[in-house]
Structure 1
Amino acid sequence: MNFLSLNVRGMDEVMKTSWVRRLKVKHKANFVGLQETQLSFSSSIDINGCWDSNAFDYASVDASGCSGGLISIWDTFVFQNFDVIKNRHYLVVCGKYKDSSESVILNIVNVYGPQSISEKKKVWLELLNIINGTPGTWVVFGDFNVVRDPGERCNSQFCPYSASDFNRFIHDANLKDYNMGGERFTYMSRVDAKLSKLDRFLTCPNYLQLFPLSYGFDQVVSDAWNCFRGFGTPDAYLAAKFRFLKDRIKKWRKDGDQKERREVEESRSLSSDEQRIWADGIRKIMEWERLKALDLKQKAHIKWTIDGDENSKFFHGYINNKN
């Protein structure tokens, strides 16, 4: 089941509706939570325009003036709700996850946290009471307007009291801070370049298998090896398969380097000496990987000569050999 959480900062524009729909389709979301609709009457929002089919239902919380406002939309083929709890700062939808071999009770919370320290603490206590008093698995996401530690803010003020209350809520509710991926910070003020991680995805640990996780090297190799399609003589086929695998690994490595570089640059600006050391380190790693690839290629060639035409069966066993 895929979830999409967006702080839309107003839904009074037609382009916002089409934007939500495009993201919903792109990420194949079954449940979409919107924060800061900034509309006193949610009924004026084109919910149909946010979805790509008629199989949906929704719940909403009106904004207070031009502040706040929440909407949760879900695919009725995948999720069936039986209760809704509304508050100015959160929207709880309780139901059943239908696309499962077992009957899974799923409680989904869309949050837009208040600004006041005391109001934040009040919201966390209210949610904790609801979670402790309601059976089922919990998924809590949204714009919490709070961070967990100083490292989640850059060039902006950190409040230890709000962070302590928020961390206590996560611990007492037995929630896991789920890694959404992407950029390190989820909000940037263009005026003074203040960065902060305000959006989060919290869930019970036993529900993580229902979410797509980012995969690493082993998964990249396995997927590339299994999805390759080729033809020709056995040696030409194997050589083409190696090239295909190499290209997939290079792309995986490049994407990882870009993500790592962004995280470092977002944390602070690097000096010219640090940038030189960084670039030199990247070159050394690439050279080491090139030599390692040559060594692997030579070993594979030797094995291919010995094992004859069992190329696919052999290589699969060889690449998983830890000795």
Structure 2
Amino acid sequence: MNFLSINVRGVGEDAKISWVRRLKIKHKATFVGLQETQLSTSLSIDVKGCWDSNEFDFVSVDSSGRSGELILIWDTTLFQKSDVIKNRHYLVISGKYKNSSASGNLNIVNVYGPQSTSEKKKVRFELLNIINGRSGMWVVFGNFNVVRDLGERCSSQFRPHSAFAFNRFIQEANLKDFNMGWERFTYYDSVTAHPRELSNHNPITLTSSVSDFGPIPFKFFNSWLLREGFDQVVTDAWNCFRGYGTPDAYLAAKFRFLKEIIKKWRKEMDQKERHEVNVTLKMTKNFEKFVESRPLSSEEKGIWIDGIKKITEWERLKALDLK
């Protein structure tokens, strides 16, 4: 039973949809919570594109202008929804986890907290009543727009009274807060903070199991058509093939030969691209750490922006493979 929380800061682009789907698959998430989709209605979002099968359901709260909107998506083969509570600043779903010996309800809360101090207080009060008024296990994630102590605040004003109220809410709701923020805290128990990549917030996963479904079988991907050198590889392979036999056997052999050449090209291309992507991701992660302690120079900002553009283009090509 794995959970993925992402403050996406807009999810209208194919690259963002592909990114969410990639993280969902990589971390084998049963539940995915998105905050700040920045779209006025869930009808504008390719929710199916965020998932890797047709076995899913979701609930959402529409945004107000460019701020907000929450979405909760889950695997319907593993979770049976029984109740939903919607609010502008939070989503609550309750139900049963299928094929489990555990008894009682499972309650999931996706939060995007308001900026106003009075609204924050109202949200905490409402959530506290909901949590204390229902039985079962609770998993609460998202962005409360508040921190617990000064060490979690960077490049903005720390408000001690808000922190005190937030800590009291966590205690009264009998919740456990995992001490994690940015990339300085990588692992704590089964919670992981991942690189921001296409957002200015770190995706967070809560993992309770690990599975391995084996290698992905060979198939043709749409993005290959846009890869540099692919046309030449196909043309050269097609022209250099030498075979014999009946026309249908000859053609079948030619296609098998072409398939092997493409597989070899794909392996070499993947190794090269993975290296480039890993280098770029490492670079952007380093800049994320630098910006916590000092302002970046114009040159560093330019390199960081170029790196994000490369990651976005890589995600765009990956998105083509989903269509």
TM-score, normalized by length of structure 1? 0.58
Matched residue SS, 1:82: strand
1-structure distance, mates of 2:141, 2:194: 15
Amino acid at match of 2:184: R
2-structure distance, mates of 1:175, 1:8: 25
1:27 correspondence with 2:27: yes
Alpha-carbon shift at residue 197 of structure 1 (Å): 8.6
Deviations 1:113-148 (A, max 9, x none): 101111111101100000011111111000111100
1-structure distance, mates of 2:112, 2:17: 19
Alpha-carbon shift at residue 179 of structure 1 (Å): 4.9
Matched residue SS, 2:96: strand
Amino acid at match of 1:154: C
2-structure distance, mates of 1:188, 1:103: 35
Matches within 5 A, 1:203-218: 211=208
Alpha-carbon shift at residue 211 of structure 1 (Å): 2.6
The answer as to whether partners of 1:177 and 1:201 remain within 8 angstroms in 2 is: no
Amino acid at match of 1:22: R
Alpha-carbon shift at residue 184 of structure 1 (Å): 3.1
The answer as to whether partners of 2:17 and 2:46 remain within 8 angstroms in 1 is: yes
Query: Which position in structure 1 is the counterpart of 2:171?
Result: 171
Q: Which runs of 5+ in 1 are unaligned?
A: 190-195, 203-209, 214-257, 270-323
Q: Which has the higher contact order (CA 8 A, sep 6+)?
A: 2
Alpha-carbon shift at residue 212 of structure 1 (Å): 5.3
Alpha-carbon shift at residue 154 of structure 1 (Å): 2.6
The answer as to whether partners of 1:82 and 1:94 remain within 8 angstroms in 2 is: yes
Deviating 4+ runs (over 4 angstroms): 179-182, 185-189, 196-202, 262-269
Alpha-carbon shift at residue 156 of structure 1 (Å): 2.2
Amino acid at match of 2:173: A
Deviations 1:133-192 (A, max 9, x none): 111111100011110000111332101111111111000000001256871388999xxx
The answer as to whether partners of 1:143 and 1:200 remain within 8 angstroms in 2 is: no
Query: Which position in structure 1 is the counterpart of 2:95?
Result: 95
Matches within 5 A, 1:303-318: none
Matches within 5 A, 1:245-260: none
- Structure label with greater radius of gyration: 1
The answer as to whether partners of 1:56 and 1:76 remain within 8 angstroms in 2 is: yes
Matched residue SS, 1:141: strand
Percent identical among aligned pairs is 67
The answer as to whether partners of 2:4 and 2:204 remain within 8 angstroms in 1 is: no
The answer as to whether partners of 1:146 and 1:198 remain within 8 angstroms in 2 is: no
Matched residue SS, 1:184: coil
2-structure distance, mates of 1:149, 1:92: 26
Amino acid at match of 2:11: M
Q: How many residues align?
A: 210
The answer as to whether partners of 2:149 and 2:163 remain within 8 angstroms in 1 is: yes
2-structure distance, mates of 1:198, 1:163: 21
1-structure distance, mates of 2:27, 2:138: 21
**Structure 1 residues 197 and 164 mapped into 2: Cα distance closer, same or farther (>3 Å)?**
farther
- Once superposed, what is the RMSD of the aligned Cα atoms? 3.2
The answer as to whether partners of 1:179 and 1:201 remain within 8 angstroms in 2 is: no
Query: Which position in structure 1 is the counterpart of 2:144?
Result: 144
Matches within 5 A, 1:1-323: 1-179=1-179, 183-184=183-184, 211=208, 268=293
2-structure distance, mates of 1:13, 1:126: 33
Alpha-carbon shift at residue 11 of structure 1 (Å): 1.6
The answer as to whether partners of 1:58 and 1:74 remain within 8 angstroms in 2 is: yes
Amino acid at match of 2:208: F
